[in-house]
Amino acid sequence: MDQPSTTSLERTLTTLGHNEPDRVPLFLFLTMHGAKELGMSLAEYFSRPENVVEGQMRLRARYGHDCVYPLFYAAAEVEAWGGEVLFFDDGPPNAGEPIIRKRSDITSLEPPRVSESPVLQKSLRAIELLKSEVGDEAPVIAAAISPFSLPVMQMGFDSYLDLIYEDRELFWRLMEVNQEFHVEWVNAQLDAGATAIGYFDPVSSGTIIPRELYLETGYEIASRVTERANGPLAIHLASGRCLPIIDDIIASGAAVVGVSALEDIRLLKAACSGRITILGNLNGIEMRRWTHEEAESAVKEAIAGAGQGGGFILADNHGEIPFQVPDEVLFAVSEAARKWGSYPLDWVDEYGV
Amino acid sequence: MTRSKDSVEEFERALLTIDRARASDILELLNEGMSPIEVVEQTIVPALEWIGDAWESGDVALSQVYMSGRICEELVDTFLPPADEKRKRQPVTAIAALEDHHALGKRIVYSSLRASGYELTDYGHGITADKLVERSVADGIEVLLVSTLMLRSALKVEALAAGLKKAGSGARIIVGGAPFLFDERLWREVGASAMGRDASDAMRLMTELNGAL
């Protein structure tokens, strides 16, 4: 049963300590649904930090999940670098044409200052306001794109892979510039009141690059950033596979790893148990069409696979629930998380493992 | 070098380690006395199919699939230039990243198909469904390969399929990309003719269509 005296933050910290809280924490990473709540277009919604704060508070009141999530949209970082952002009515804004059009542009690239970026300042204000709303009752989960993954938006994915394989010197020059920006951005969010940072690093996943290349690049960069960040990082591979590099992710200093719906959550639990907290692994794409029963079944399966002993936060597997996911499904997920997530998980042994 | 399973595997290894020079040397030795299209069909296609399948099972990474496709595309272009009459007879084919500005998936399929002897028109990325209908009809496209990364873009395939039908086009739409991998019912829902899980799937689907059209 729920213990009303347990706050969302306490619940989260207990599971991060690899102990069982009153129930499995549920993080609903809803970046866009607040616009529906406020009856606004996404462009209007993201134009003011107060809108995002109001949206987050309303969504949390509705679904009772365990965090607030002030991420505006991933492409905001490219906007800070002077890039174009394209808004849509039915999905997250996308980065437009790359800001690095030819490799030689990297030589003269300078990192933007967080204090001079209107979009980042809006995000920081949203964090401050949310922190003052929730205090120590719930974690404020902020996000940043890793220096290693940001070039996908800065220069296009194919050009970036070409760079990694063909010009390692210029690649490291880009990484140096990106790291300077990233560390300033991460620490500014922590200073504003963020409890932890989701370090989004899909390029590091085994889906995208082989482990030996990851060790030379993404791992090295994550380790450097972790050392310079003034707070905890949760490494999120945004639906990418993590099992091939899970020991390395743990070694890089992360406390949490966001896992993919495409990997067996039981294998993940076996690899992570007592070492790193699992965040996931509900399939956000399928979620759009789930029935109430399918939502309950998916939640039950995830909790059965990873809930025992704590070290598990139930969430979607991408770090952003699609705009198309209906309210009824979010209610069903939230309800099932309470129904099946209350510790001790006595039912799991009887469940078809 | 005599053609053997080991030597084809050595070619695959050269691709996976992004060793262009080694891949080129092995290919040259492997295929002495063979026609260009035999080289493609007996060495390049099996290697790229194996690499694509290995990505699907999590044994190789997307960066390796991408670089392998690029290397093979470059190698094939040296002995089988674009528009060479020895390239495969095929339906009129185009590829695009619908609405999306993420173009890696499109690039991988484009390279793999070109390296397999196909010619296809690249309509680029960020193209709307309406524009794609217009261009496909104007060019008499018979097979349209559509790549998406974002869910919202994948859902636009429905408007694309409706638009093509309304315009009287019988083009087959083959979709691919993350939303279709994460929801295996999605391609039918949006009215696509087929879904390719990876570049090797796209190659197999093209072979099937080549026989059917």
- Using an 8 Å CB-CB cutoff, list chain A residues near B95: none
* Residues of B with Cβ-Cβ distance to A87 under 8 angstroms: none
At residue B3, the pLDDT reads 58
Distance from CA of B176 to the nearest CA of A (A): 14
pLDDT at A266: 97
* Distance of residue A191 Cα from the nearest chain B Cα, in angstroms: 32
Q: Give the SS3 label for residue A157.
A: helix
Is the pLDDT reported for residue B180 higher than 90?
A: yes
pLDDT value at B2 more than 60:
no
CA atoms within 13 A on the CB side of B20: 10
Q: Is residue B1 over pLDDT 70?
A: no
Instruction: Confirm or reject contact between B64 and chain A (CB < 8 A).
Output: yes
Which residues of chain A have a CB within 8 Å of the CB of B182?
A: 239, 261-262, 283-286
User: How many angstroms from the chain centroid is the CA of residue B76?
Assistant: 14
Whether residue A230 is predicted with pLDDT greater than 50 in this model: the reply is: yes
**pLDDT value of position A77:** 97
CB distance B45 to B69 below 8 Å: no
Q: Quick one: tokens of B205?
A: 């689907």
pLDDT-wise least confident of A101-105, A273-277, A312-316, A346-350: A346-350
Interface touch A324/B61, C-beta < 8 Å: no
Going by pLDDT thresholds of 50, 70 and 90, the confidence category of residue A353 is: low
- The whole-angstrom distance between B7's CA and the closest CA on chain A is 23
CB pairs under 8 A between A and B: 84
- Mean pLDDT score, B1-30: 85
Given a cut of 50, whether residue A1 has pLDDT beyond it is no
- A95, A111, A134 from B99: Cα distances, Å: 12, 29, 38
The predicted model gives A167-179 an average pLDDT of 98
Averaged over A60-83, what is the pLDDT? 97
Q: Which residues of B touch A210 (CB under 8 A)?
A: 60-61, 63-64
**Nearest-neighbour CA in chain B from A239: distance (Å):** 9
**Residue carrying the six token digits 């009752």:** A137
CATH of the domain spanning A8-350: 3.20.20.210
Q: Would you state the pLDDT for residue B88? A: 67
Nearest CA to A99 out of A88, A115, A111, A90 is that of A111
Q: Average pLDDT, stretch A28-56?
A: 98
User: On the CB side of A62, how many CA atoms lie within 13 Å of its CA?
Assistant: 18
Does B37 have pLDDT greater than 80? Answer: yes
Provide the b/e sequence for B28-46 (b: ≥16 CB within 10 Å). Answer: eebbeeeebeebbbebbbe
Chain B CB contacts of A152 below 8 Å: 102
Structure-token pair, residue A197:
């940072």
Read off the pLDDT band of B29 (50, 70, 90).
confident
Q: How far apart are CA A192 and CA B211, in angstroms?
A: 62
> Of the ranges A44-58, A301-315, B4-18, B162-176, which one carries the lowest mean pLDDT score?
B4-18
| CA atoms lying within 13 Å on the CB side of residue A15 | 33
pLDDT of residue B30: 81
Q: CA A270, A286, A146 angle in degrees (round to 5)?
A: 60
CB contact under 8 A, A262 and B63: no
**Residue B168: Cβ-neighbour burial (10 angstroms; 0-12, 13-18, 19+):** exposed
- pLDDT single digits (tens) B124-144: 999 999 999 999 999 999 999
Give the least confident one: B53-67, B147-161, B197-211: B197-211
Residues from chain A contacting residue B100 (CB–CB below 8 Å): 94
CA nearest B178: which of B95, B62, B89, B87?
B62
Categorize the per-residue pLDDT at A4 as very low, low, confident or very high, splitting at 50, 70 and 90.
low
The predicted structure's pLDDT at residue B213: 65
pLDDT digit string, tens, across residues B185-202: 999 999 999 999 998 899
Taking CB atoms and an 8 Å limit, are A324 and B150 in contact across chains?
Answer: no
Q: Which of A156, A165, A207 comes nearest B18 by C-beta? A: A165
What is the model's pLDDT at position B92? 94
- B63/B68 Cα distance (integer angstroms): 8
- The predicted model gives A100-124 an average pLDDT of 97
**Cα(first)–Cα(last) distance of chain A, in Å?**
24
pLDDT in tens, A155-167: 999 999 999 999 9
> How far does the CA of residue B101 sit from the closest CA of chain A (Å)?
7
> What percentage of chain A exceeds 70 in pLDDT?
98
Average pLDDT for chain A: 96
pLDDT tens digits for range B61-116? 999 999 999 999 999 988 887 777 767 678 999 999 999 888 899 999 999 999 98
pLDDT score for B4: 63
Nearest CA among A46, A122, A50, A48 for reference residue A80: A122
Residue A164, chain B, CB below 8 Å: the answer is yes
Residue in B61, B67, B101 nearest the CB of A206: B61
User: Which stretch of A84-98, A117-131, B28-42 has the lowest confidence by average pLDDT?
Assistant: B28-42
- The answer to whether A193 and A127 have CB atoms below 8 angstroms apart is yes
pTM: 0.94
At position A63, the amino acid (one-letter code) is: Y
Residue A10 confidence (pLDDT) above 70: yes
CB < 8 Å to A148, chain B: none
3-state secondary structure of B94: strand
Contact: A209, B102; criterion CB under 8 Å: no
Distances A190 to A49, A138, A184, A202, B141 between C-alpha atoms, Å? 17, 15, 10, 22, 53
SS3 content of chain A, % helix, strand, coil (to 5): 50, 10, 40
Question: What does the pLDDT average to over A185-208?
Answer: 97
Q: Fill in the DSSP letter of residue A158.
A: H
CB contact under 8 A, A213 and B61: yes
**CB < 8 Å to A97, chain B:** 101
User: What is the CA angle A251-A253-A258, rounded to 5?
Assistant: 95
Q: Which two tokens stand for residue A220?
A: 């090295």
* Range from A46-55, A92-101, B155-164 carrying the lowest mean pLDDT: A92-101
Measured CA to CA, the distance from residue B51 to residue B53 in angstroms comes to: 5
Separation in Å, CA B129 to CA A340, A344, B21, B146: 43, 51, 41, 10
A218 interfacial to chain B (CB closer than 8 Å): no
Q: Where are the domains of chain A?
A: 8-350
Tokens of B163: 């638009």
